Amino acid sequence: MLTLYGYWRSSASYRVRIALGLKGVEARHIAVNLREGEQRGDEHLTRNAQGYVPVLELPDGTQLTQSLAIMDFLDASYDVNPFMPRDAVTRSKILSASLTIAADIAPIQNLSVLNYLRREFAADDTQVKDWSAHWISKGFDALEPRVAENKQDFYLSDHPAFFEICLIPQIYNARRFGIDMTRYPALSEVEARCQILPAFKAARPENQPDAF
């Protein structure tokens, strides 16, 4: 069986939980408590020298890191519900929209980045919230028209795929930072279509055993 090392509120862990659900693959979930700094302990650093979650461990002990790389592995290994189409241009567009979230929003508000702002620039709670909200809004402002002009139920797809796996955790995170999602009707419509599906329901942060 696969083992997923993650954290309930980590958006990268959330992505992999959705991906596992869409592929119908069971995994043992082990919590790494980011709030207590377990990610910087020796045990976790042997799994991922970056000290980040998630890590997916295969039955032979191989440990995979980086949520998008784990999603790529799952898609290459399990045919059901393909995360990517075959057409090269459509693939590229889906990957681009996904990276707008996974490269240009999420890493900039990683816990380690926010801690640096507090430590080195004496950022207070309001400044940290404004910082996160700024990068989320900047990314969503660019994504909204792209998704709005799309005629399919999901972004360039008739089923939830690579982009939706990135989008839903980012929207969860956006709400935490006070973003008004009514500004993004097309993104919200895709979200509504996803949230009724079992794979997305099971993956929600509040449904994880380590949630508090």
- 33 by Cβ neighbours in 10 Å (0-12 / 13-18 / 19+) ranks as middle
For residue 188, give both structure tokens: 């919200």
Q: Please report whether residue 68 would count as binding a copy of itself according to CB under 8 A.
A: yes
Residue pair 17/203 in contact by the 8 Å Cβ criterion: yes
Contact pattern for a copy of itself over residues 81 through 120, marking x by CB under 8 A: -------xx-xxx-xx--xx-xxx-xxx-x-xx--xx--x
One residue of 37, 40, 41, 69 binding a copy of itself per CB under 8 A: 69
Does position 132 bind a copy of itself by CB under 8 A? no
Contacts with a copy of itself by CB under 8 A: the residue count is: 49
Among 26, 130, 153, 189, interactor with a copy of itself by CB under 8 A? 130
Window contacting a copy of itself (CB under 8 A); options: 32-40, 122-130, 168-176, 194-202: 122-130
- By the rule CB under 8 A, 177 interacts with a copy of itself: no
Whichever of 105 and 203 has its CB closer to a copy of itself, that residue is 105
Contact predicate 28/206, CB 8 Å: no
Q: How many CB atoms lie within 10 A of CB 192?
A: 9
Q: Is 124 in the site for a copy of itself (CB under 8 A)?
A: no
Q: Can you spell out the DSSP letters for 79-138?
A: -SS-SS-SSHHHHHHHHHHHHHHHTTTGGGG-HHHHHHHHHHH---HHHHHHHHHHHHHH
CB atoms within 10 A of CB 191: 18
Residue 72 engages a copy of itself in binding (rule: CB under 8 A): yes
The CA distances from residue 141 to 54, 127, 161, 191, 196, in Å, are 27, 21, 21, 16, 25
Q: Which residues bind a copy of itself (CB under 8 A)?
A: 48-50, 52, 58, 62, 64-66, 68-70, 72-73, 76-77, 88-89, 91-93, 95-96, 99-100, 102-104, 106-108, 110, 112-113, 116-117, 120-121, 123, 127, 130-131, 134, 138-139, 141-142, 145-146
